Amino acid sequence: GAGVSQSPSNKVTEKGKDVELRCDPISGHTALYWYRQSLGQGLEFLIYFQGNSAPDKSGLPSDRFSAERTGGSVSTLTIQRTQQEDSAVYLCASSLDFIGYTFGSGTRLTVV
Amino acid sequence: AQKVTQAQTEISVVEKEDVTLDCVYETRDTTYYLFWYKQPPSGELVFLIRRNSFDEQNEISGRYSWNFQKSTSSFNFTITASQVVDSAVYFCALSNNAGNMLTFGGGTRLMVKP
């Protein structure tokens, strides 16, 4: 597609439920990143995928968070047993050459 | 480890004033890239500029200009003759040559009042 697409744009979930957030990167972009932006805060790195290499998971805040990228394209970020502190905007970005990053519009997650 | 510091959390100016947003970075890499992004109220991150560590030439794009100084590890952003539409949060970011992480500063919220 023309840009990075994320769905849903908004998600409200009850505490303790699992959620899945989807990212569809720009076609041909080999690198994909997930970031989290809590209310009024900066962007926190979560995970990075590059081609078929093992992902860099160093930013995942707990083992409730996981992500996969199927076929080197679409990625899903899963949060299990959601907590209120998980409420944030989750941003996905993709890149072809590591020096140009295009961000999606994000998924606003609210845990009630 | 990489670090980006935007000391100004919030700036308020009146339309047509010039404003400079500060960015100071830390890295051990000799090759790296610096970025500025704009985040308007809609929430989307809009790419403004990328600069590599070997190019210290300052850049001007319309009302925007950037001053990269390796000696002080700074990459400051100036908006000339600010407009209300410039109101947004601006993020400075740093990437290493491997591209496996983009480290962001905390952002500066710019409010331009008419």
Kindly state whether A50 is in contact with chain B, defined as any CB-CB distance less than 8 angstroms: yes
pLDDT surpassing 70 at residue A98:
no
In the block, which residue shows the tokens 């941003």? Answer: A91
Kindly state whether B41 is in contact with chain A, defined as any CB-CB distance less than 8 angstroms: no
pLDDT of A82: 98
Kindly state whether B33 is in contact with chain A, defined as any CB-CB distance less than 8 angstroms: yes
Are B103 and A91 an interchain contact pair (Cβ–Cβ within 8 Å)? no
Q: Within a 10 A sphere around the Cβ of A16, how many other Cβ atoms?
A: 10
Burial class (CB in 10 A: 0-12, 13-18, 19+), B108: buried
Q: What does the alpha-carbon distance between residue A39 and residue A111 come to, in Å, rounded to a whole number? A: 13
Kindly state whether B68 is in contact with chain A, defined as any CB-CB distance less than 8 angstroms: no
Which of A38, A7, A20 has its CA nearest to residue A80? A20
Q: What does the alpha-carbon distance between residue B17 and residue B29 come to, in Å, rounded to a whole number? A: 36
A104 CB neighbours in chain B (<8 A) are 44
Q: What does the alpha-carbon distance between residue A8 and residue A106 come to, in Å, rounded to a whole number? A: 8
Cα nearest neighbour of B44 on chain A: A105
Are B102 and A102 an interchain contact pair (Cβ–Cβ within 8 Å)? no
B-proximal residues of A, 69-98, CB under 8 Å = 89, 91, 93, 95, 97-98
Q: Which two tokens stand for residue A9?
A: 């744009």
Please give, one letter per residue, the 3-state secondary structure of A11-65: EEECCCCCEEEEEECCCCCCEEEEEEECCCCCEEEEEEEECCCCCECCCCCCCCE
A98 CB neighbours in chain B (<8 A) are 95, 97-100
Which of A45, A100, A106 lies closest to B101 in CB terms?
A45
Judge contact between B49 and B59, C-beta under 8 A: yes
Task: Give the mean pLDDT of A87-106.
Answer: 88
Instruction: From first to last of the 114 residues of chain B, give the pLDDT tens digit.
Output: 889 999 999 999 999 999 999 999 999 999 999 999 999 988 889 999 999 899 888 888 899 999 999 999 999 999 999 999 999 999 999 988 777 778 999 999 999 999
Task: Give the mean pLDDT of A98-106.
Answer: 84
Q: Which two tokens stand for residue B19?
A: 């404003």
In the block, which residue shows the tokens 């076609």? Answer: A27
